[in-house]
Every structure is written in structure tokens, then in C-alpha cells.
Amino acid sequence: MRIAYAGLRTYWFLLRPRIVGVKCVLTHGEDVLLVRHTYGSRAWDLPGGTVRRREAPRDAARREMHEELGRRIDDWTPLGELFVRSNHHDDDLHLFLARMSDRQVEIDLVELAEAGWFPRGALPADLGRYVRPIMERVTKA
């Protein structure tokens, strides 16, 4: 995954594409699920991924959570969109919230190094750059 990610960064630098993706906030009570990817930044981040061509963002959220976490989630609350420029590309992130009845996840070790549940008021210091702005939307939802 690290080699593929390096190739993507070169592609982004040369072509400066617009990437459509999803970020998913999964909560259980007052806790939120954060993940560390096996590629890119090792900071704690929200799970998510890229929306495929002709795929609705909600369907991408369902697919990504099944692929990365082994969870089938159908009940999503939309949190809007976040538009950002990062690493030589534009991100159009569709944001979703799902409240989980349990904490069980089975992570895909190809994409994720680890996953952990954290109290919303005590998130780790090494967070991905979009976690806090997205979590602000959760308190309003």
C-alpha cells in the first residue's frame, strides 16, 4: 500500500485531480472510532475512502465500512460536505454519521494498521487534519 500511495502522490502532483471521497464518524455512546492507515499519515483518522465512478456517496460509505471494518451499516446521518485542497489535489468529502449498537470491528490489515474507540472529549493528540472539523459537525447533528 505504501508504494501505491507514493504513486498516487506523483499522479496528484502532475494532474491535480478532484477526488470525491467519504469520511465516516462511527459512534458508540460517547465514544468515536478512529483508525490508523497502513499508508500515508500514521495519525488517527476517521474511516472512509474514495467514491467510485457512478457510485452514490452513501453507497461508498456502506462499501468502505464493510471493506475496512467488516461492518454492514445502512443507517447513515449525512453531515454535509467538506471541500479541501491537500497533497496537490482537491478533495470533496461527503461526511456521514452512524451510531453503533456495539464496538465490534474486524479491520482489513491491508488498509488499516489499527482501530480504536476514544471518548469524544479525550481524542488522541495525533489526529488527522480533518477529524476535529468533522467532529464539530457531529455535536450539531
pLDDT in tens, 55-108: 999 999 999 999 999 999 999 999 999 998 776 667 889 999 999 999 999 999
Show the domain range for 27: 2-140
40: domain CATH number?
Answer: 3.90.79.10
Cβ–Cβ under 8 Å, residues 92 and 18 = yes
- The residue written with cell numbers 489499527 in the block is 114
Please state, as a whole number, how many other Cβ atoms lie within 10 Å of the Cβ of residue 89.
17
Q: Number of structural domains, the chain? A: 1
Q: pLDDT above 90 covers what percent of the chain? A: 73
- The residue written with cell numbers 443507517 in the block is 75
Strands 31-37, 18-28: pairing kind: antiparallel
Taking the whole predicted model, whether its pTM rises above 0.95 is answered as no
- Listed in order, strand segments (DSSP E) in the chain are 18-28, 31-37, 48-50, 77-86, 89-99, 112-119
